[in-house]
């Protein structure tokens, strides 16, 4: 049942960084610097229609091809909501940036829809609905962006299947440095280059790094985090997609970053610093490193967002 006194709801969903190096497809965090907004307005004709998209890049207006409208459609079908909605999408996250743009639009849509319900659904169900949008964007139901976008903080996805299970992990008081070079990497193509098999040796080493990373978060152990958040499997394969990647990473570490890695499938990178002053040094070093390759880059410094998506 829908609340009768609400006609329009706007929700904000933050940018996210998936994988965090060692947690391919199962870890991610929410940022606080940029995000997407989705506004839903009730209709009486049962139709779900995208009225307007404010975005620097073209996005599909067809409801079955847009992550926000598709996720909303699936949620309404599941809950037998038949009134219809008009949608406005305000994109703050560049598409193909590795900052969870497709996930944010889907998450904002279902969070806004939840505000219409007399009995709101759980965050786990919201993740389940938003994953339908992520699927049409990336080719699979990967919750490493959607889960932190909705839950906030750092999340571990034990299961992205029904039932969804998301674990919020503790996190140190860190500053995140996000560098978005003016390159584009599509998630589908970035997944396509990955080898389908991993050697036993690499599996063991990466498992140890992942376990130690999670332990470092529970222990608030920065030095353990520095040693353990090192991706041995995905980064070596995807680095080729980002011109100057290893030069930029080296510049970040030399400037004092705790660690640096791809944000999602790239081309953005995420680095961690202990405070704002250190973050500024890391940011400048990374931007300058990209400039030596004649690549311009946008940058943000953000704490980890503990709350995730919310209604405005």
Would you say 150 and 123 are in contact if contact means Cβ atoms under 8 Å apart?
Answer: yes
* pLDDT tens digits along 27-52: 999 998 799 999 999 999 999 999 99
Q: Which residues contact 194 (CB under 8 A, 6 or more apart)?
A: 234, 237, 238
Predicted TM-score (pTM) of this structure: 0.94
Q: In sequence order, what are the residues at sequence separation of 6 or more whose Cβ sits closer than 8 angstroms to the Cβ of residue 140?
A: 134, 191
**Is residue 1 scored above 90 in pLDDT?**
no
Among 187, 213, 259, 261, which one carries the catalytic annotation?
A: 187
Q: Which residues contact 95 (CB under 8 A, 6 or more apart)?
A: 55, 57, 59, 101, 102, 184
pLDDT computed for residue 157 by the predictor:
97
pLDDT attached to residue 195: 92
Q: What is d(CA 171, CA 163) in angstroms, rounded to the nearest whole number?
A: 25
Predicted confidence at residue 65, as pLDDT, reads 92
What structural domains does the chain harbor? 8-169+307-311 (3.30.230.10), 175-303 (3.30.70.890)
- pLDDT attached to residue 300: 95
At 109-155, the pLDDT tens digits run 999 999 999 999 999 999 999 999 998 877 778 899 999 999 999 99
> Is position 296 annotated as part of the catalytic site?
no
pLDDT at position 219 over 90: yes
pLDDT mean over 195-224: 97
Phi-psi sector, 153: left (phi>0), alpha (psi -120 to 50), beta: left
Q: For residue 57, indicate whether it is catalytic.
A: no
CA–CA distance, 166 with 181 (Å, rounded to integer): 31
Phi, psi of 170 (to 5 degrees): -70, 160
User: 81: phi > 0 → left, psi -120 to 50 → alpha, else beta; which?
Assistant: beta
Q: What is the rounded average pLDDT for all residues in the chain? A: 94
- In the structure, what pLDDT confidence band is assigned to residue 96 with cuts at 50, 70 and 90? confident
Provide the phi-psi class of 161: left if phi over 0, else alpha when psi is between -120 and 50, else beta.
Answer: beta
Q: Using an 8 Å Cβ cutoff, are 166 and 247 in contact?
A: no
181 and 94 in contact (C-beta within 8 Å)? no
200-216 in b/e burial notation, b at 16+ Cβ within 10 A?
Answer: eeeeeebeebbebbbeb
């Amino acid at each position: 049942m829908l609340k009768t006194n609400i006609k329009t709801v706007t929700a904000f969903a933050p940018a996210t960084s998936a994988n965090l190096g060692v947690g391919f497809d199962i870890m991610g965090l929410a940022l606080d610097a940029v995000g997407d907004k989705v506004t839903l307005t009730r209709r009486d004709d049962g139709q779900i229609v995208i009225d307007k998209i404010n975005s620097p890049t073209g996005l599909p207006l067809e409801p079955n091809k847009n992550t926000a409208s598709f996720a909303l459609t699936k949620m309404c079908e599941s809950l037998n909501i038949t009134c219809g909605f008009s949608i406005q999408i305000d994109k703050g996250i560049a598409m193909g940036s590795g900052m969870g743009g497709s996930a944010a639009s889907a998450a904002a849509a279902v969070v806004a829809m939840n505000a219409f319900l007399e009995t709101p659904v759980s965050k786990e169900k919201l993740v389940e609905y938003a994953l339908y949008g992520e699927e049409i964007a990336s080719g699979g139901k990967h919750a490493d962006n959607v889960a932190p976008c909705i839950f906030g903080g750092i999340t571990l996805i034990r299961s992205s299947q029904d039932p969804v299970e998301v674990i919020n992990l503790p996190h140190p008081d860190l500053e995140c440095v996000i560098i978005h070079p003016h390159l584009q990497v599509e998630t589908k193509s970035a997944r396509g280059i990955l080898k389908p098999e991993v050697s036993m040796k690499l599996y063991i080493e990466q498992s140890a790094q992942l376990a130690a990373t999670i332990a470092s978060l529970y222990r608030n152990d920065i030095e353990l985090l520095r040693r353990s958040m090192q991706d041995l499997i995905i980064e070596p394969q995807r680095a080729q997609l980002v011109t100057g990647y290893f030069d930029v990473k080296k510049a970040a570490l030399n400037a004092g970053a705790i660690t640096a890695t791809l944000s999602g499938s790239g081309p953005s990178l995420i680095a961690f610093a202990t405070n704002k002053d250190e973050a500024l040094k890391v940011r400048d070093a990374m931007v300058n490193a990209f400039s030596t390759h004649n690549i311009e880059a946008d940058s943000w410094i953000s704490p980890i967002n503990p709350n995730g998506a919310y209604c405005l």
